[in-house]
């Protein structure tokens, strides 16, 4: 077990956003959090790497309470891919190299450069690695953020809507590659997604979140009309297509 979340609570001032959430993520697993806008998905992700500090509960990483870890150690073990990142005037390569910052003090080592090259190869973005970040499309920039997280060589990658800026072809290509990376390396991914059917196809486990509370969690067997209706407040049918459940609005 890489990640264990136990009884996590978080609130902004007097507004409770995450309420007693518990789940576990194992090595080689793509774990996806699903729910409506405002359900608390992004807030929950940020609690996992202490961008936000939970007011209750604990997050354990490789058996260590993250409250007992230094920020640099969390940064080495947890990669973070936000929906939107800061776009600055630097090359794609240099931005990816920043993913190695938790590992070096004054200047990168040969190992840091090697990790950057490996990450670039994983998602096949060598053709844009020398371009400037502020010249990229939204989809290209999203890929670069994912590569930067991979360059950290983390145990867990947190991704907030990783396919949101991509066209349908590149959504499927990214999820195929990401699944291959997670399933063939000693790490895991936790992500949020709005596209239920894309998540179903490429995720191993799911957490259905509503108003900061868990409605259901587990494998594809939890993708039922009743559960989806409860979370999204709309009637759906679940049919099989290509060997996967397919959620169809009614």
- Residue range 40-90, pLDDT digits in tens: 999 999 999 999 999 999 999 999 999 999 999 999 999 999 987 777 789
Whether residue 178 is found in the same domain as residue 135: no
Query: What is d(CA 42, CA 192) in angstroms, rounded to the nearest whole number?
Result: 7
Q: Are strands 236-241 and 188-192 parallel, antiparallel or unpaired?
A: unpaired
Whether residue 52 is found in the same domain as residue 112: no
Q: How confident is the model at residue 210 (pLDDT cuts 50, 70, 90)?
A: very high
Whether residue 54 is found in the same domain as residue 99: no
The predicted-structure confidence for 80-119, as pLDDT tens digits, reads as follows: 999 877 777 899 999 999 999 999 888 999 999 999 999 9
Whether residue 243 is found in the same domain as residue 168: yes
- How many domains does the chain fold into? 2
Task: Please give the residue range of the domain that contains residue 219.
Answer: 3-77+155-249
pTM value is 0.94
């Amino acid at each position: 077990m890489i990640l264990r979340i136990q009884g996590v609570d978080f609130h902004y001032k007097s507004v409770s956003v995450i309420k007693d959430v518990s789940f576990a993520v194992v090595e080689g697993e793509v774990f996806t959090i699903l729910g409506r806008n405002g359900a608390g998905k992004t807030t929950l992700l940020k609690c996992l790497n202490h961008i936000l500090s939970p007011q209750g509960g604990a997050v354990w990483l490789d058996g260590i309470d993250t409250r007992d870890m230094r920020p640099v150690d969390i940064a080495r073990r947890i990669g973070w891919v936000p929906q939107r990142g800061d776009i600055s005037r630097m090359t794609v390569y240099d931005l990816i190299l920043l993913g190695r910052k938790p590992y070096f003090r004054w200047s990168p080592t040969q190992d840091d450069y090697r990790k950057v090259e490996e990450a670039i190869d994983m998602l096949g973005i060598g053709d844009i690695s020398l371009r400037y970040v502020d010249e990229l499309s939204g989809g290209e920039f999203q890929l670069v953020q994912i590569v930067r997280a991979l360059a950290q060589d983390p145990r867990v990658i947190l991704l907030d809507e990783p396919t949101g800026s991509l066209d349908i072809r590149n959504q499927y290509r990214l999820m195929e590659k990401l699944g291959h990376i997670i399933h063939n390396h000693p790490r895991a991914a936790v992500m949020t997604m709005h596209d239920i059917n894309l998540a179903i196809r490429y995720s191993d486990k799911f957490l259905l979140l509503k108003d900061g509370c868990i409605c259901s969690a587990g494998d594809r067997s939890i993708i039922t009309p009743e559960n989806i209706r409860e979370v999204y407040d709309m009637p759906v049918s679940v049919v099989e297509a290509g060997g996967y459940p397919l959620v169809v609005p009614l």
